[in-house]
Amino acid sequence: MTAKEILKYLQAGERTALIKRADEVRKEHCGNKVILRGLIEFSNYCARNCLYCGLRRDNGSLRRYRMKPSEIIKASYGACEEGMKTLVLQSGDDFYYGVDDIRGIIKDIKKRFPDTAITLSVGERPDDEYKAFFNCGADRYLLRHETMNERLYKKLHPGQSLKERIRILEFLRKTGYQVGAGCVVGLPGQAIEDLRGDILFLQDFQPDMIGIGPFIPQSNTPLAESSIASVDFALKVIALARVVTKNSHMPATTALATLDEGCGHILGLNAGCNVIMVNFTPSKLKKDYAIYDNKVSVSLKRAEAAVLKSGREVTFERGDSLKR
């Protein structure tokens, strides 16, 4: 798509034709199955201070937790025993866990469940650590680019740069990972033209996986008073991402389900998504992974019900990249 076409879709009041097109592209390139992946949020400590995120370093009112490696492994086994063939291990940028800790976790899971894909989502780390994780069995890495507007990126992520973020994404791909990028829709200060930049980036980079979620404020952040993003607009951005990337794996995000508890997942699945993340974080910790307010917890039952309601079929397969 050209920049002009993308902008036209983003500005249009009508979105039905775009959503329909995205659904057709998804069907042709990804099939009808919806892949379920198991998510474990193992630490809510973060060294960064992103303005929109409840895990930010300066949020003193968050009850912090760190799971021990043995607890992460136990939760991972639990998810695998429920049938998950992909585990997404996620945390804030928490350097408490050294290379050996994370390598030990990966190796243990791979030894017991060799067919399970491991996705890491542990933020920005030195290049040699990415290599070490990959060499001991990590398969995929999620690192949303957040926004392609350099000025806005800098404002929202003190001390970080978009240039470095993109460099890391390229490095991860070169290392051999299946790579996930993605953006937030409706960030305070974000213009429609910025989202056009996000779609153009996704079209150019062709990530193996894409996560796009609507902005939801978190009460203990500097952006607490900002407006919640529109679900309809987020769906347009998701649909455009599907059209320009064709076969990237795209989750109907938990943020969509949070904004529309009854239909969020279904709306995402209808707009081009083909994945749902099921939360296997231990129950007593879930509510403390408070990246935004009122984040719902997606159980296996809930994910299966959404897939069923959307008229699609659940699959527990690994769901490796369709781009290779």
The 10 Å Cβ neighbour count of residue 292 is: 24
Contact window for ligand SF4 (CB under 6 A) among 51-59, 173-181, 246-254, 300-308: 51-59
CB of 48 to ligand SF4, least distance (A): 4
CA distance 232 to 224: 22
- Contact status: 120 vs ligand SF4 (CB under 6 A): no
Query: Does 142 contact ligand SF4 by CB under 6 A?
Result: no
Note whether 272 binds ligand SF4 by CB under 6 A. Answer: no
Using CA of residue 168, residue 174, residue 175, residue 180, what is the dihedral sign?
A: positive
When asked if residue 118 is in the footprint of ligand SF4 (CB under 6 A), the reply is no
- Could you say which of 22, 36, 40, 50 contacts ligand SF4 (CB under 6 A)? 50
Q: Which is nearer to ligand SF4, 222 or 282 (CB)?
A: 222
CA nearest to 187, candidates 230, 220, 247:
230
How many residues are listed for the chain in this entry? 324
Q: How far is the CB of 117 from ligand SF4 (least distance, A)?
A: 22
**Residue 91: CB minimum distance to ligand SF4, A:** 8
- For residue 259, give the 3-state DSSP assignment: helix
Q: Does 267 bind ligand SF4 (CB under 6 A)?
A: no
Give yes or no for a contact between 24 and 304, defined as CB atoms under 8 angstroms apart: no
For residue 251, state whether it binds ligand SF4 (rule: CB under 6 A): no
E strand spans, the chain: 33-43, 86-91, 117-121, 140-142, 178-181, 184-185, 209-210, 213-214, 275-279, 313-315
295 binds ligand SF4 (CB under 6 A): no
Q: Which value, to the nearest 10 degrees, does the dihedral of the CA atoms of residues 165, 198, 263, 315 take? A: -60
Residue closer to ligand SF4 by CB (options 55, 172) is 55
Is residue 66 a contact point for ligand SF4 (CB under 6 A)?
A: no
Please say whether the beta carbons of 285 and 295 come within 8 A. Answer: no
| Residue 48 near ligand SF4 by CB under 6 A | yes
| Region label for 123, one of left (φ > 0), alpha (ψ between -120 and 50) or beta (otherwise) | left
71 by Cβ neighbours in 10 Å (0-12 / 13-18 / 19+) ranks as middle
- Shortest Cβ distance from residue 56 to ligand SF4 (Å)? 4
Residues 2-21 that bind ligand SF4 (CB under 6 A): none
Least distance from ligand SF4 to the Cβ atom of residue 258, Å: 16
Tell me which of 25, 34, 39, 55 binds ligand SF4, using CB under 6 A. Answer: 55
Among the listed residues 38, 123, 186, 272, the single contact to ligand SF4 using CB under 6 A: 123
Partners of 40 in beta bridges:
89
Question: Where do contacts with ligand SF4 occur on this chain (CB under 6 A)?
Answer: 46, 48, 50, 53, 55-56, 92-93, 123, 291
